[in-house]
Structure 1
Amino acid sequence: MSETKPANEALCLAALRDHDRDRYLAALLTPADRRAGVAALYAYNAELARVRELVREPLPGEVRLQYWRDLLQGAGHGANEANPVAAELLQATRTYQLPVGPLAAMADARIFDLYDDPMETVVMFEGYAGETAATLIQLTSLVLDPAAAASAADTAGHAGVAQAVAGCLLLLPIHRARGQVYLPLEILRAVGLEGPDLLKGADKARLSAAIEAFAGLGLDHLEKARRSGTPSRSILPAYLPATLARRVLLSARSRGAAILDHDIRPPQWRRQLRMMATLVSGRI
């Protein structure tokens, strides 16, 4: 067991390095005695986020998501030792007494990713972000310092929505290629567009207005996160990935429809410096 646990932690970190570089860097900046739990949560999130990439049809994707729900609810199929992410996630839930409900809800929320139904409203998007990015921040905070996490729920919620908006803006080219519309129809319709118009990408002026409004939603939540209070330094590492959202949101707001075909993610060295600066300053 003493050899298996470090090996699973290393495998979780390796998976993050390949599939979620920002959270991989954030995990490395987490205190060593909590890193295994944080890496397990981040690797679990990466597994959920990748399901759409790994399947051709929704049904196999739902089966993959059901595997994680069964695992968390104690109805796993066979031994979990062969899956390092599963083994480490279960260990983290036991060690840090993490609530199973929000972890399972993360898998439930990802069912949306498997289909091409559009995101209808801003409230619907905020709910999706709350069950994915915001929940991940809160659970990571519980690993780091349960007492401090309890007093920062509002901050985690708003930071998670801001991070989710930034993530969807970064993934717009990929989502368009798949026929997915995460930018709420409520925002598109406010500028005279529908989901297919986003996928076609022809009306640049109106698309720029919609993207500006969506980025503005993310910036509004980021400001609310900051106004709700600075998280304790003990849980600050949980917010490191979310601190990268501001630059993306500002870039999307200024560039508009140009982001449909161009990557606006800052280079890795800038993202790493931003996270390190957050740890030094103590402010998200």
Structure 2
Amino acid sequence: MWTPSPDIYCRMRNGTAPHWHKAVQKHKLTKRWLTRIVDERENNLDNRAYGSLKDLETYAENTQSSLLYLILETLDVRDVHSDHAASHIGKAHGIITCLRAVPYHSSRRQVFLPVDICMLHGTSQEDFIRCSQEKNVKDVIFDVASQAHVHLEHARSFKRKVQGKAFAAFNITVALDSYLKKLRKADFNIFHPSLQRKNTLLPLYFYVRSWKKTY
């Protein structure tokens, strides 16, 4: 069994180190997933915008997807199909997290959306900082959100090959679907007030999807 060095725990600054230590010991977690999360978080501390949509996906893979791999291991699920689904769901989660944070970051004069997509539609950081609702701004959001949707659909395309007990790790798709639905309803206006309101029906949606044994 892999025993993490004290260094990996010292690099965790949010008080989770003792819990990770217990999880590693109990579930024999894989070293590279935990290390990738810590490495990627540290590499992202300088608050740079993502150079491309691919860069955002890489960040999401190394953080959100890696976390899902670890959750699967705690459920005693270790197979390529479940990992494949986790990879795409994690990427969708990372992309949507970036979108959800746009209003917050814009209010602090920060923009982290992929530069290549912004350039493609001729948008600038100032467009987001002043909460523009012009078509080119919405087009950026549409392109980024569409990639998240593609990842979710890809993950579901082979769900019949995924072990049933892995579905519990993928409940996050309920919240991701909910946000994308609200974003479409808001015509991809990332600053629409409806996107900042909680969905009180999420617990019900979680229950229904769990009952249907799907993600």
TM over 0.5: yes
Is the CA contact 1:134–1:156 (under 8 Å) kept in the aligned structure 2?
yes
* Distance in structure 2 (CA, Å) of the matches to 1:112 and 1:172: 20
The answer to whether structure 1 residue 95 and structure 2 residue 23 are counterparts is no
RMSD: 2.6
* Distance in structure 2 (CA, Å) of the matches to 1:165 and 1:272: 23
Report what 1:62 is aligned to: none
Distance 1:143 1:237, change over 3 A: same
Distance 1:150 1:93, change over 3 A: farther
* Distance in structure 2 (CA, Å) of the matches to 1:138 and 1:121: 25
Q: What is the Cα deviation at residue 167 of structure 1?
A: 1.8
The answer to whether structure 1 residue 73 and structure 2 residue 5 are counterparts is yes
Which of 138, 143, 147 in structure 1 is aligned with 2:74? 143
Across the two proteins, how many residue pairs are aligned to each other? 210
Alignment of 1:1-284 (within 5 A): 72-75=4-7, 85-111=16-42, 113-147=44-78, 149-202=79-132, 204-230=134-160, 231-256=162-187, 258-260=189-191, 262-264=193-195, 267-284=198-215
What is the DSSP-based 3-state SS (H/G/I as helix, E as strand, rest coil) of the residue aligned with 1:174? helix
Deviations 1:73-127 (A, max 9, x none): 333789xxxx973222101111111112221221222235532321111110110
What is the DSSP-based 3-state SS (H/G/I as helix, E as strand, rest coil) of the residue aligned with 1:237? helix
Structure 2 unaligned residues grouped into runs of 5+: none
Q: What is the Cα deviation at residue 245 of structure 1?
A: 0.6
Percent identity reads 21
Deviations 1:184-234 (A, max 9, x none): 111111111133432333362211111111111111111111113243221
* Distance in structure 1 (CA, Å) of the matches to 2:93 and 2:15: 27
* Distance in structure 1 (CA, Å) of the matches to 2:97 and 2:188: 16
* Distance in structure 2 (CA, Å) of the matches to 1:90 and 1:140: 14
**Higher relative helix content:** 1
Give the counterpart letter for 2:22 in structure 1.
Q
Moved more, 149-158 or 207-216: 149-158
Is the CA contact 1:162–1:217 (under 8 Å) kept in the aligned structure 2?
yes
Give the counterpart letter for 2:177 in structure 1.
R
Structure 1 unaligned residues grouped into runs of 5+: 1-70
* Distance in structure 2 (CA, Å) of the matches to 1:268 and 1:262: 13
Report what 1:54 is aligned to: none
* Distance in structure 1 (CA, Å) of the matches to 2:51 and 2:194: 25
> Normalising by the residue count of structure 1, what TM-score does the alignment of the two structures yield?
0.66
